Structure 1
Amino acid sequence: MQIIIIGGGAAGFFAAITCAQTYPDTRVTLIEAGKHPLAKVKISGGGRCNVTHSCFEPTQLVQYYPRGNKALRGAFSRFQPQDTVNWYAERGVKLKTEADGRMFPTTDDSDTIVQCLLAAATAAGVKIWTGEAVAEISPQQPSGWSVALKSGAILSADRVLLATGSNPSAYKWAQQLGHPIATPVPSLFTFNIPDSRLANLAGVSVKSATVKLAGAGKNALTQTGALLVTHWGVSGPAVLKLSAWGARLLAEARYQTTLIIDWLPDYRPDKLRELILSVKSQLPQKTIQNSCPVPIPHRLWESLTSHIGIQSTDRWAGLANKTLDRLIGELNRGEYQITGKGVFKEEFVTCGGVDLKSVNFQTMESKICPGLYFAGEILDIDGVTGGFNFQSAWTTGYLAGLAMGNV
């Protein structure tokens, strides 16, 4: 049986290796348009490669996927992060778990993962073609597939896997073959916020802040976590998660909307008022800007108090009730205008892709075109940051590889 896998990323390689190892008599050819396969693996995690996440319960794991969580529930029961850890361990690559649950190779070098996958593919007999772009795929009669390369060559295959990531051409092929496509838009990005309150605070971070997109109505999009002020706005886990869950809404708003920041999610307004009044009573002659009573960086406190009109010489004794109200509002529900999206290092994730209802998640085979399979980011699946996107690539690639060689 001849299998052609289009796309030399994480999902494509995992599918190729699984298929070739499970069915040694099957001929597996992997076609990658770029000169270097696994390019995204190479640059991921700042060059360390965040392979997966230490969440080993499928029902909990799916909660990290804004899109695809229902479809992945069964898939993760068959191949989940513990299986990923075991797979790499069997090939001599040990993973370590960091405090936030992210898992990396102990070498802290993504090339360890790249070389492992290349070696496993070679050992399994996978033919790897690089620098070969696919022009078109089409079903043959009475069965099988024709894969036309831009070089002019035409290949035949019994089964084809599309593991092309967010390649527009692949979306077009899938759509022409009858698969609905959820419009691809970016996910996992930072927010551009030109605001005087943040202008000189690049590098300042808060361990826990709550960020919310205004205008989301009953389905208010809110995330809590670490927040980092950057030269262009805000970043950090809370922002990245919010960008993932709000990817579609933010795209529709053309990345022009209001972000509400609660710098002190553990301090409700009444508790915050009580604390500040206590400080006012106990330290009346202290200057407000020099005596921050709440757990936020001092530079941030200075900026927020200055923004509402508190001068560097103003003392607690002179804090008026109206100013107190404004201070509490600034700390608990400050409004910031998002004017665009930034990037998250070199990592890019797409919300959208092949509609999951058109795919059998037992096998990753199309329900519309027998012999056509999908894996990885071409599907309308995306996770938050932390190794979850790679895990869905390993899982869907594994399931596709297991099914494609089965006669």
Structure 2
Amino acid sequence: MNQEFDIIIVGGGAGGFFTAINIAEKNPLLKVAILERGQEVLTKVRISGGGRCNVTHACFDPRELVKFYPRGEKELRGPFHQFASGDTVAWFESHGVTLKTEEDGRMFPVTDSSQTIIDCFLKTAAALGIKVLTGESVSHIMKSGDYWKIETRQQHFLCEKLVMASGSNPKIWEMLEGIGHSVVSPVPSLFTFNIKDERISKLPGVSAMASVKVKDTKLDSSGPVLITHWGLSGPAILKLSAWGARILAEKNYRFTIEVNWLNDVSLAEADTQLRGLKQEHARKSVSKKSPFDFPNRLWESLVLAAGVGTETKWADLSKTQLQDLAALLTQSAFRVDGKSTFKEEFVTAGGVDLREINFRTMESKLHQNLFFAGEIVNIDAITGGFNFQNAWTAGAIVANSI
């Protein structure tokens, strides 16, 4: 027995719900269903932003917004002119959810709880009569005349228009390949670097503004770097992992990075500064207090690594020690051996080939009435609310098209 709907959305996540709600609001006569393979919907929304849900980012210029997407920058220019961060803020406000902006530009509900977003979606979907079916793992997709036929383990569904919002789901990608779509093989994005190194092993929790580059590549990044029990994390590292997702996967996550703890100060400039400090603080102990804008514990560790004793005075530093210290401050090399997922916010680079999608409508160029929303396509962003913004934009455009 086939269950019939006008529109079926595969995936009960952020993109799926946003698409469904916008479709039903624009045309309440349409019969809309969401199929979710798990027993719960909106699980990624729940854990996002440490349980606060980083809804979007306060970057309101589409030309600037696209720069946060390692994959999708060119393709999202048009979509962001249709629906961007400002539209997201207005949409949530109109649905009773007020957002606030934090210092770094990330936007959260004023309640600081992802449950606010989940409740908004569930309540609105129920009021609009959207059917939310959980435990429906899709096993087969095929075109049958003017209809799409979707099989799950439990039942069969028919619909006129099909929206794929299933995120990074290898089984779904395989089914889409089965109907002719190309899928760019997925690799992890947004991960931290595993590093075992005496210079940082006793410093978990210490953070500094730094610039980082991956040796033998053009990859570089700057911003806060956080030392963890496993190695290095923080925005600068996560940005590198996103922009370098494919390159670092090819290296099997084994490579060398160079950290400049003074950010944009060169080796020669650091050497000059240290000579000045030697004159200025001649009688003071070198390791006691950081003369630079980063934590004392990190300074002490770098001083020891340069072969300088804890009681050594500035006046007693040799030329070699000064040079070694300048190099450690501006060119600290660390061997990366593997990666760790950034919190629970696992993001992949990969998905449906962007050349096969019409970005004015988010419709497949291969199949009429097949649409895409969210991370199922080969678009991903750095951390900060940008991956959700991609889902809201695609959902709004799909709804407009339908």
Q: 5+ residue gaps in structure 1?
A: none
- The residue number in structure 2 matching 1:130 is 134
1: CA distance, partners of 2:257 / 2:333: 6
- 8 Å CA contact 2:289–2:299 kept in 1: the answer is no
Aligned to 2:105: 101
Partner-residue secondary structure (3-state), 2:196: coil
Distance 1:179 1:215 in 2: 35
Q: Does 1:146 align with 2:144?
A: no
Answer with 104-113 or 299-308: which moved more. 299-308
Task: Report the equivalent of 2:327.
Answer: 329
Structure 1 residue aligned with 2:210: 209
> What CA distance in whole angstroms lies between the structure 1 residues aligned with 2:360 and 2:103?
33
CA contact (8 A) 1:189 1:343 kept: yes
Aligned residues: 398
1:8 deviation in Å?
0.3
| Partner residue, 2:162 | 160
Q: Is the 8 A contact 1:15 1:402 kept in 2?
A: no
Matched letter for residue 236 of structure 2: A
In the alignment, is the contact (CA less than 8 A) between 2:211 and 2:264 conserved in 1?
no
1:64-143 residue pairs with structure 2 within 5 A? 64-141=68-145, 143=146
Letter in 2 for 1:150: R
Q: Offset at 1:282?
A: 2.2
Give yes or no for contact 1:276–1:293 (8 Å, CA) kept in 2: no
Does the CA contact (< 8 Å) of 2:270 and 2:329 recur in 1? no
Q: TM-score, normalised on structure 2?
A: 0.97
Q: RMSD value over aligned CA atoms?
A: 1.1
The match for 1:356 among 346, 351, 354 is 354
Counterpart among 42, 50, 56 of residue 46 in structure 1: 50
CA contact (8 A) 1:10 1:390 kept: yes
Q: Distance in 1 between matches of 2:102 and 2:281?
A: 42
Q: CA offset at residue 270 of structure 1?
A: 2.7
1:74-119 Cα offsets, whole Å, 9 max, x none, are 0000110111101110111100000000000000000000010111
Secondary structure of the residue aligned to 1:75 is: helix
- Inter-partner Cα distance in structure 1 for 2:289 and 2:301: 13
Greater Cα shift, 263-272 or 163-172: 263-272
- Provide the C-alpha distance between the structure 2 equivalents of 1:314 and 1:67, rounded to a whole number of angstroms: 50
Following superposition, the deviation at residue 291 of structure 1 comes to 3.8
Work out the CA distance in 2 between the residues paired with 1:235 and 1:80. 29
Question: C-alpha displacement at 1:300, in angstroms?
Answer: 0.5
Counterpart amino acid of 1:137? I
User: Quick one: which of 275, 278, 290 aligns to 2:276?
Assistant: 278
CA distance in structure 1 between the aligned counterparts of 2:327 and 2:268, rounded to whole angstroms: 11
Q: Which runs of 5+ in 2 are unaligned?
A: none
SS in 2 for 1:5: strand
Counterpart position of 2:367: 369
Contact 1:193 1:234 in 2 (8 A): yes
Distance 2:89 2:280 in 1: 55
Check whether the contact 2:267–2:331 (CA below 8 A) recurs between aligned residues. no
Q: Partners of 1:235 and 1:306 in 2: how far apart?
A: 23
Instruction: Report if aligned partners of 1:137, 1:173 keep a CA contact under 8 Å in 2.
Output: yes
Question: 1:189 pairs with 184, 191, 195, which one?
Answer: 191
User: Per-residue displacement from partner, 1:129-151 (whole Å, max 9, x unpaired)?
Assistant: 0111111101112x211000112
Q: Is the 8 A contact 1:29 1:127 kept in 2?
A: yes
How far apart in 2 are the matches of 1:146 and 1:317? Answer: 80
Q: Percent identical across equivalent pairs? A: 48
Secondary structure in 2 aligned to 1:156?
strand
TM-score by length of structure 1 reads 0.96
Q: Counterpart of 1:361 in structure 2: which amino acid?
A: F
Letter aligned with residue 153 of structure 2: K
Q: Per-residue CA shift, 1:11-70, capped at 9, x if unaligned?
A: 111111111111222111110011111010011000000000001100000000000011
* Superposition deviation, residue 313 in structure 1: 2.1
For 2:37 and 2:181, the matched residues in 1 are separated by: 23
Distance 1:356 1:343 in 2: 25
**What's 1:177 paired with?**
179
